[in-house]
Each structure stands twice: as structure tokens, then as C-alpha cells.
């Protein structure tokens, strides 16, 4: 598991570094210059999605590991930066990058508070240290953002050439890590892979797409960014929260199951948004 965890971290680091070499200071500041959009985005990711997961944990009957895992996943924002489906569907790159940066910074404080708050609502000890969240986000998101922006500023030609291969390498590492993790937890995967757990995750991902799409406003290039951000979560933070509160249980199968469901459920939404934005989209994400 140690090597797989490192592989996940390297993948996220390389992804953020690649897009950092493609972005600029205006992208980083995008949501901070639009406080209403920032507040709505934070409410969607940090409040609405955990509340939906909590309601499902209380009122739906499916395996305990999947129920708790879903709540933990909902408390783990900061998805992998600018996934390919955003590029294909015409999302606004500045919003996607700026949101990832803002959430990475603010999650260090907001996530522990929300974990403690949800734990009290669930009437059980449920906590995570600020340091645990920071240990996940700082080296994997904030540091590569700073490095990528620095490279882009000092050596823009090199950054333009290196950004694409860096992201491609990150995707390859991520795929290998997911396959390795799937093989490692295959036996216990069926303990959480029940029809009810599967339906619960499908509903949760669908709710995330709907919440993000509506709360981002009428512009399609913003709607798809927040929709994907609400549906996707950060597996590193999820496992850190779960390990801190339930050290005797393994939530890796739940994380794997959720990753599969996200890929399947978001595909038709992305295709729909791509058809909508194709005729009139004037600000697509540039392919790097």
C-alpha cells in the first residue's frame, strides 16, 4: 500500500505541475476576484455534498464501510486538477484552476471543521487533524502549483513544451496505481460492492453533478467545472480521514468503487455538455 500511496501522490503532483506550467497568475486569482462564485462553489463542495452524504448514511441501508466511506469521500474535496473530460467539454480553464487552488488552500481549515461537525451530527467521534489535511494538500497541490507557475514565468517555452508530457505521465501513473490498488483489494471489494451501495454512489455522484451545475450559474463553461468538482473527490484526503477515525477498517475498496462510479456516471453528462457548448463555446480549455 505504501508504494501505491506514493504513486497517487506523484500522479497528483505531476498533474498539478503540468497545468501549473500552463496557467498564469490570473487563473490562480480567478475565483478570489469573484467572491460570489467562490462562496457558491465552497457551499456546494464543503456543505451541500457532505449534507447529502450524511442524509444517505442515515436513511439508506447499505454496508457500513460504504456508508461511512461515502461521508468521508464527501468531506474530501480537491479533485484531480482539470480532468480530461473538462477539456473535451469546454470548461473554463481559469475557473477550474482557480477553484482547485482556492479549495486546496481553504480545505486545510474548512475540512477539519466540517469533519468534526459531521461527526457530532453522526453522534460518534469523527475528527481529523489540520496537519493531516495539510500534509496531503501542501506537497501534492500547493507546492506543484507554485513550481509550475514559477517555471512558466521563468522559462515559458520550456513550460509550454513540458506541460503536456507531464500531464500524460501523471495519467499513466494514476492508471497504474488504480489497477494495482484494485488488484490488492479485489477480495474485499465485494464486501462493499452491493447493489444498494452501488445505487447510493450513483445517486451521490448524480447529485454532485446536479448541485454543481445549478450553483455555478447559467454559464455552461462554469457549470461543468463545479459539477465535476462536486462529483469528484480527493482519495488521499478520504483515506487520511478514514484511517484517523477508523484505523481497524479498510476503506480502499470504497474509494475504488467510487472512482469507478464517477467515471461511468459523469460520462453522459460530459457528452451532453460537450454537445451544448460545441456550437457557441468561445472560451474552451486549451489542450496542453
Whether 225 is covered by a domain: the verdict is yes
Whether 90 is covered by a domain: the verdict is yes
Identify the pLDDT of residue 215: 94
Q: Which residue has the cell 442515515?
A: 58
The answer on pLDDT for 202 being more than 90 is: yes
Report the predicted TM-score, pTM, of the whole model to 2 decimal places: 0.79
Structural domain tally of the chain?
Answer: 1
**Cell triple for 83:** 480532468
Mean pLDDT in residue range 100-126: 76
Whether 23 is covered by a domain: the verdict is yes
Whether 233 is covered by a domain: the verdict is yes
206 pLDDT tier (thresholds 50, 70, 90): very high
Parent domain of 98: 2-275
Give the lowest-confidence range in 77-91, 121-135, 150-164, 208-222.
77-91
Identify the pLDDT of residue 115: 77
Q: Which residue has the cell 451541500?
A: 48
The answer on pLDDT for 62 being more than 80 is: no
Torsion of CA 268, 272, 278, 280, to 10 degrees: -150
Give the lowest-confidence range in 9-13, 94-98, 126-130, 174-178.
126-130
Q: Which residue has the cell 484505523?
A: 247
Identify the pLDDT of residue 163: 85
36 pLDDT tier (thresholds 50, 70, 90): very high
Cβ neighbours of residue 265 closer than 8 Å, sequence gap 6 or more: 202, 205, 206, 209, 231
Identify the pLDDT of residue 86: 59
* Helix/strand/coil for 83: coil
CATH number (domain holding residue 45): 1.20.1530.20
Q: Where are the alpha helices (DSSP H) in 21-48?
A: 25-28, 35-42
Whether 168 is covered by a domain: the verdict is yes
The answer on pLDDT for 184 being more than 50 is: yes
Amino acid at each position: 500500500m505504501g508504494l501505491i500511496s506514493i504513486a497517487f501522490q506523484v500522479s497528483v503532483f505531476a498533474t498539478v505541475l503540468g497545468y501549473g506550467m500552463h496557467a498564469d497568475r490570473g487563473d490562480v486569482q480567478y475565483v478570489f476576484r469573484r467572491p460570489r462564485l467562490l462562496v457558491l462553489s465552497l457551499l456546494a463542495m464543503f456543505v451541500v455534498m457532505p449534507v447529502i452524504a450524511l442524509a444517505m448514511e442515515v436513511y439508506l441501508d447499505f454496508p457500513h464501510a460504504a456508508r461511512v466511506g461515502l461521508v468521508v469521500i464527501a468531506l474530501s474535496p480537491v479533485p484531480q486538477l482539470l480532468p480530461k473530460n473538462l477539456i473535451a467539454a469546454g470548461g473554463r480553464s481559469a475557473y477550474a484552476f482557480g477553484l482547485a487552488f482556492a479549495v486546496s488552500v481553504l480545505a486545510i481549515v474548512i475540512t477539519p471543521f466540517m469533519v468534526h461537525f459531521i461527526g457530532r451530527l453522526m453522534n460518534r467521534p469523527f475528527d481529523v487533524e489540520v496537519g493531516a489535511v495539510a500534509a496531503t494538500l501542501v506537497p501534492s497541490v500547493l507546492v506543484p502549483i507554485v513550481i509550475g507557475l514559477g517555471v512558466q514565468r521563468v522559462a515559458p517555452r520550456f513550460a509550454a513544451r513540458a506541460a503536456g508530457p507531464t500531464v500524460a505521465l501523471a495519467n499513466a501513473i494514476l492508471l497504474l496505481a488504480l489497477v494495482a490498488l484494485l488488484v490488492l483489494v479485489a477480495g474485499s471489494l465485494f464486501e462493499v460492492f452491493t447493489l444498494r451501495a452501488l445505487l447510493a454512489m450513483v445517486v451521490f455522484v448524480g447529485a454532485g453533478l446536479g448541485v454543481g451545475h445549478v450553483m455555478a450559474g447559467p454559464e455552461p463553461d462554469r457549470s461543468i467545472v463545479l459539477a465535476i468538482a462536486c462529483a469528484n473527490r480527493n482519495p488521499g484526503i478520504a483515506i487520511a480521514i478514514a484511517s484517523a477515525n477508523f484505523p481497524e477498517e479498510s476503506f480502499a475498496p470504497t474509494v475504488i468503487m467510487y472512482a469507478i462510479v464517477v467515471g461511468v456516471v459523469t460520462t453522459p453528462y460530459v457528452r451532453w455538455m460537450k454537445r451544448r457548448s460545441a456550437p457557441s463555446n468561445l472560451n474552451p480549455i486549451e489542450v496542453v
